């Protein structure tokens, strides 16, 4: 019997970097905009029940988003190491088309199995998964048991989330590369009896994940 408690990955609220289309990945990063604050508050208020556990990456935007969810739900927010966004190295802070296109080429390659590739000074896809997946495995083992009461909400980042969704639940490209996540959209994963995960939601979409959206997006990290 599978538990109905879910792992809910939620992208942080809008930031100044999102608005300016900046590759903002280094910690602590830029803060939420007023719109981002409103998004975070609305997300927390819209949850059907308070999460069992609420954690975030150590990036400022994720911590702020989790703080507003805490205010709305009463569930204390904690920071866990290893959940930050894909680190883009020398591309950090850039907003030009060349930087966006290079990152997207590398990122799409990860979804096609080319996980060793990296931006200059940045992480490979293998390294991103190696730091994030053990954190999620630990949350699953501790909180998503058969008698779990409440979901586990993890506030983190769009590019990392989409790579996780592919790795854990087998959602495949081009869906994973073309369907970017807006601020405070979620990827919702249900633990299965065989130790795997079933993806119940990817942003606006529910299974089957076959819609092919435009591969371009205003926000390069979403």
100 labelled catalytic: no
Q: Is residue 215 part of a domain?
A: no
- pLDDT reported for residue 41: 98
54: tokens are 């609420």
Residue 2 has pLDDT above 50, yes or no: no
- pLDDT reported for residue 22: 95
Q: Is residue 220 part of a domain?
A: no
Q: Is residue 148 part of a domain?
A: yes
123 labelled catalytic: no
- Under 8 Å between Cβ of 152 and 143: yes
- Under 8 Å between Cβ of 22 and 79: no
Q: Is residue 24 part of a domain?
A: yes
pLDDT band, residue 211 (cuts 50/70/90): confident
pLDDT band, residue 221 (cuts 50/70/90): confident
Give the rounded distance of the alpha carbon of 154 from its chain centre. Answer: 8
Report the number of distinct structural domains present in the chain. Answer: 1
Select which of 14, 70, 85, 188 is catalytic: 85
Q: Which domain holds residue 77?
A: 7-202
Select which of 12, 100, 111, 157 is catalytic: 12
Q: How many CA within 13 A on the CB side of residue 125?
A: 22
Interatomic CA distance for residues 7 and 139, integer angstroms: 9
Q: Is residue 119 part of a domain?
A: yes
CA–CA distances in Å: residue 20 to residues 44, 94, 114, 144: 26, 10, 29, 38
- Residue 48 sits in a domain whose CATH number is 3.40.50.1240
Cis peptide before 28 (omega within 30 of 0): yes
Q: Is residue 209 part of a domain?
A: no
pTM of the model: 0.95
Q: What is the pLDDT of residues 131-160, one digit of tens each?
A: 999 999 999 999 999 888 899 999 999 999
CA–CA distances in Å: residue 215 to residues 39, 42, 191, 212: 24, 28, 29, 8
Q: Is residue 115 part of a domain?
A: yes
Residue 29 has pLDDT above 80, yes or no: yes
């Amino acid at each position: 019997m599978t538990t109905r408690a879910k792992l809910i990955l939620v992208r942080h609220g809008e930031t100044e970097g999102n608005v300016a289309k900046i590759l903002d990945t280094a910690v602590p990063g830029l803060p939420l905009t007023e719109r981002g604050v409103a998004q975070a508050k609305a997300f927390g208020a819209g949850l059907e029940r308070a999460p069992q556990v609420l954690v975030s990456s150590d990036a400022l935007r994720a911590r702020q988003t989790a703080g507003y969810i805490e205010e709305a739900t009463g569930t204390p927010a904690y920071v866990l190491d290893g959940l930050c966004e894909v680190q883009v190295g020398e591309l950090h802070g850039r907003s030009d088309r060349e930087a966006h296109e290079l990152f997207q080429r590398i990122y799409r390659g990860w979804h096609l199995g080319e996980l060793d590739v990296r931006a200059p000074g940045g992480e490979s896809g293998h390294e991103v998964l190696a730091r994030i997946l053990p954190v999620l495995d630990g949350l699953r083992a501790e909180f998503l048991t058969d008698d779990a009461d409440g979901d586990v909400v993890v506030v983190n980042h769009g590019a990392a989330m989409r790579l996780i969704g592919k790795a854990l639940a087998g959602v495949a490209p081009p869906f994973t590369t073309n369907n970017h996540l807006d601020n405070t959209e979620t990827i919702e994963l249900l633990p299965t009896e065989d130790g795997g995960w079933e993806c119940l939601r990817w942003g606006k979409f529910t299974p089957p994940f076959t819609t092919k959206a435009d591969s371009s997006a205003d926000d390069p990290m979403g």
